[in-house]
Structure 1
Amino acid sequence: MLLGSGPRAGFAELILPANEPGSSIMPGKVNPTQAEALAMVCCRVIGNHTTVTLANGLGTLELNAYKPVIIYSLLQSVSLLAGAASSFAEHMVEGVEADRERIAELLDRSLMPVTALNPHIGYDKAAEIAKLAVQRNLSLREAAIASGHVTEEQFRQWIDLEGMTREV
């Protein structure tokens, strides 16, 4: 849900399928209703699990008068999960997309890859580059080259964002 926040602010890394009209207070926003519904079902299942646990613990010796509530809760959980999983797969998973442009933008602006420079130029110079990027609102690449500690070719060799983030 959080990764789909947006459309122009927040994480906005996922493009969620629009399964119904948008937000009543924010036109153009796609609500993550399928994810929210699945989360609600999970809350109900956790409640049922608690019921099963308590009812099972109330049984004495080889007799448990609480079997009806145990069975009811278990069957309700199975039914809820089956329906929710099916709906989530059909209306969310099949339509969700990674917003590759937004992810590339966030990746380009990230300072995390600066740690890959440590073995080559040392911690202090890498930290200097990160601070420069923040102070001047530069990308890590721009700051590294502007610092004079790294050439563009070295940056390309040492900071391989594609390699660091590719599917395994």
Structure 2
Amino acid sequence: VAGAALLESIELLGNAAAVFAEKCIAGIRATDRGPQLVEQGLAIATPLALEIGYDRAAELVKLALKEGLTIREAARRELGLPDRELDRLFDVRRMTGN
């Protein structure tokens, strides 16, 4: 009985995954706007925490929110980091392993 229930559950999960892929994932395409949205997001501060510590990175996030800056702009202004270093820190391909 347990084995039959397990097989049925596996089949249901497989069917759900196929429907999800067909109805929700198929047709999604990356646009040129993607990198801009990443750059404007606050999560981009995550790699900064590894370099400058969590507390300082959190301060930059608060500053960026308060003043309407991107994290890059806040880091450039507050940390004095050159663009080359900012490019390295905020390299999305490096962060995602691509």
TM-score by length of 1: 0.40
Structure 1 equivalent of residue 45 of structure 2: 114
Instruction: Provide the rounded CA distance (Å) in 2 between the counterparts of 1:159 and 1:91.
Output: 33
The 1:143–1:95 alpha-carbon spacing in structure 2 relative to 1, beyond 3 Å, is same
Instruction: Provide the rounded CA distance (Å) in 2 between the counterparts of 1:104 and 1:152.
Output: 16
Instruction: Provide the rounded CA distance (Å) in 2 between the counterparts of 1:157 and 1:87.
Output: 38
Q: How many residues align?
A: 95
**Larger radius of gyration between Structure 1 and Structure 2:** 1
The 1:153–1:93 alpha-carbon spacing in structure 2 relative to 1, beyond 3 Å, is same
Decide which structure has greater helix share.
Answer: 2
Paired residue for 2:76, among 108, 120, 145? Answer: 145
Amino acid in the other structure paired with 1:116: P
Structure 2 equivalent of residue 133 of structure 1: 64
Task: Using the TM superposition, give the Cα deviation of residue 164 of structure 1 relative to its aligned residue in structure 2, in angstroms.
Answer: 0.9
Encode CA deviations 1:97-131: one digit per residue, 9 max, x unaligned: 24444543431122223232234334443233211
The 1:97–1:129 alpha-carbon spacing in structure 2 relative to 1, beyond 3 Å, is same
Residue segments in structure 1 that go unaligned for 5+ positions in a row: 1-51, 54-70
* Moved beyond 6 Å, runs of 4+: none
The 1:94–1:160 alpha-carbon spacing in structure 2 relative to 1, beyond 3 Å, is closer
Name the Cα RMSD after superposition. Answer: 3.8
TM-score by length of 2: 0.61
The 1:151–1:113 alpha-carbon spacing in structure 2 relative to 1, beyond 3 Å, is same
Residue segments in structure 2 that go unaligned for 5+ positions in a row: none
- The answer as to whether partners of 1:133 and 1:143 remain within 8 angstroms in 2 is yes
